[in-house]
Copies of this chain bind each other. A is one copy, B any other.
Amino acid sequence: MHLEEKMIKSETVYEGLIFNITHDTVLLENENTAFRDVLWHNGGVCVIPVTDNNEIYLVKQFRYPFGTTTREVPAGKLERGESPEICGKRELMEETGFTCRELIDLGEMLPTPAYNSEITHMYLAKGLEFTHQNLDEDEFLDVEKIPLSEAVELVMNGTIRDGKTQIAILKAARILKI
């Protein structure tokens, strides 16, 4: 069928901590075969927490593949069987210490659909209330608060580089007319 690819063979070549890798053979629509290396990931959730004054909280953390820190919206991996909403509230609480009265669905993001099955579920959190941060023993990050309008500038001028964070900020700004 037009555009479709059919799996002929799938070989697991790595089983890792947060993803597995397969090397698959597929049949193309022209009857040729091709190889597809795929990273299989259980999915993630990110939450942009917005205050009543249209400020947002970002977390600054070290990202090993780049050897540097990035500023990102609070986020984490989905546990198997966990709902995205529950996961989003859990990660928001753990990383920033905030609960929220309302989670607004911002849709999904496929970070790299060519070779990665990860889906990132995105939410905007309103009605924030601070309780206490609850990081894992080996998790380190700094929380920063900035106006959403400034965050939009940091996205547009290339300073904020994380994909889900760019989308969450630009969607929040459009919803809140900023």
Residues of A within 8 A of B (CB): 2-5, 7, 13-14, 16-19, 21, 23-24, 26, 28-30, 32, 34-40, 60-66, 69-70, 72, 105, 107-120, 137-138, 140-142, 152, 155-158, 161-164, 166-167, 170-171, 174-175
Q: How far is the CA of A42 from the CA of B3 in the complex (A)?
A: 26
Q: Which of A24, A111, A157 gathers most chain B CB within 10 Å?
A: A111
Query: Which residues of chain B are near A117, meaning CB under 8 Å?
Result: 65-66
Q: Using Cβ atoms and an 8 Å threshold, which residues of chain B touch A62?
A: 3-5
> Which of B23, B166, B171 is in CB contact (< 8 Å) with A156?
B171
CB distance from A14 to the nearest CB of B (A): 5
Do A167 and B163 contact each other (CB < 8 Å), given the known contacts A3-B140, A19-B115, A70-B113?
A: yes
Closest CB-CB distance, A149 to chain B, in whole Å?
A: 12
Residues of chain B within 8 A of A72, CB atoms compared = 113
Contact A64 B162 (CB under 8 A): no
Nearest CB in chain B: distance from A4 CB, A = 6
**Distance of A33 Cα from B126 Cα, bound (Å):** 36
Do A3 and B60 touch (CB < 8 A)?
A: yes
Task: State A73–B114 Cα separation when bound (angstroms).
Answer: 13
- Nearest B residue to A34 by beta-carbon distance? B138
Residue pairs across A and B with Cβ atoms less than 8 A apart, 13 shown, are A3-B69, A24-B64, A26-B64, A30-B137, A39-B65, A65-B113, A65-B114, A107-B157, A109-B166, A111-B112, A116-B116, A156-B171, A163-B167
CA distance A167 to B114 in the complex (A): 17
Q: In the bound complex, what is the Cα–Cα distance between A3 and B63 (angstroms)?
A: 9
